[in-house]
Structure 1
Amino acid sequence: MRNWLIGLSILMLLVIWQTGHLIYSVLDDKASWEKEGIMLALEFTAIEQVEKVSLYHGKDRYTVVRGKNASDIPMIAWFKDGSFEGFEYEKDVVPQERIEEQVRAQVKIKEWVRLQPGMEDRRPVWEALLIDEEDKFNYYYYDMLSGQFIRSYRLQKENS
């Protein structure tokens, strides 16, 4: 009986250690790509004040950095595999609010997840992610410069 309790205790410690290691790895990875995004933006763009770094997972993975230049003008920059891909001044893109209005006009939303900049085929896009009333994930893509609808798709939400 005592050996059984010792074995169970060791197993529990291993599970706790592995869980902690996994959580630490995920958080460390996020800090790593955020740090890389900040360094890339400061080195390759006029962005001097970084406000947000995000990852876009489309056909290709992009690090997207939003910030302001020395004149306090908001900018968005894209990096792929550590290389500069392009930038846009926020004043030249369709505002997020307008894209959100367009999405809300197309679908009944149960939960709004996010609206973020992305890049598809070297074309800046807005990616809207939401959950509809049928509990399906909906992705909507809009051209960032014109606001024109590009495409959408739905995925079944996994039951937990």
Structure 2
Amino acid sequence: MKKWIISVVALLLIFLIWQSVSVYNHTFKTQEKVESKMEKTVKEKANLKSVSSITTYYGDETYYVGRGKTKKNEKVIVWMPKNQKKHDMIVKKVSQGITKKEVKEKVQADKNPEEIKSIRLGVTKDDQTNKEYPAWEVTYVDSENRFTYYYVAFETGKFTKLYRLYQS
């Protein structure tokens, strides 16, 4: 009886591990397919010669952020909404905005974070006008151990909003 129970438990564990690996692999393959499809879409709709990277931004709305070059060899960033019927694509020259390095320096000088977790491009809304604009989203842990979202407008480099979450 004891061997039978051990055998059943072992089979259940093997099954659970197999299913977990399967779900994990499926999730990443799906994301890769989406990003590959979005790379083609960004290239076509923004009339780009090449696309060097695509990332996914999950904010109020999902955006695919692509970096590439125009046919005139200008470096651009494209914010492609997942819901293209509801939101417009945004295209900006890299030179029209501030760099990731400048954002990092600004946050370190203004907020002195304990640890910066990530700095990424996305789209956020102006709370008063409800208008969307490209922004840098900086996530960091502050001196009071709060997880903080700090937004900096891509074009102006100005701080736009801040959210803090207490960690347990």
Distance, in Å, in 2 between the alignment partners of 1:72 and 1:104 is 33
Structure 1 segments unaligned to the other structure (5+ residues): none
Q: What is the match of residue 149 of structure 1?
A: 159
Structure 1 residue 104: Cα displacement: 0.7
In structure 2, do the counterparts of structure 1 residues 57 and 101 end up closer, same or farther at CA, with 3 Å as the change threshold? same
Q: What is the match of residue 101 of structure 1?
A: 105
Provide, for residues 19-65 of structure 1, a one-character-per-residue CA deviation record: whole Å limited to 9, x for no partner. 10221122113202211221111111132222221111221111111
Q: So what's the TM-score if we normalise by structure 2?
A: 0.84
- Structure 1 residue 46 and structure 2 residue 44: aligned? no
- Structure 1 residue 89 and structure 2 residue 93: aligned? yes
- List aligned pairs for 1:1-160, cutoff 5 A: 1-81=2-82, 83=84, 85-120=89-124, 121-158=131-168
SS at match of 2:107: helix
Distance, in Å, in 2 between the alignment partners of 1:138 and 1:11 is 41
SS at match of 1:38: helix
Distance, in Å, in 2 between the alignment partners of 1:52 and 1:112 is 22
Paired letter, 1:65: G
Paired letter, 1:40: T
Structure 1 residue 82: Cα displacement: 5.6
Paired letter, 1:17: W
Paired letter, 1:107: K
Paired letter, 1:144: F
Q: Aligned residues, how many?
A: 158
User: Percent same amino acid at aligned positions?
Assistant: 22
Distance, in Å, in 2 between the alignment partners of 1:14 and 1:122 is 46
Distance, in Å, in 2 between the alignment partners of 1:54 and 1:157 is 27
Does the Cα contact within 8 Å between 1:142 and 1:151 map onto a contact in 2? yes
SS at match of 2:144: coil
Does the Cα contact within 8 Å between 1:55 and 1:63 map onto a contact in 2? yes
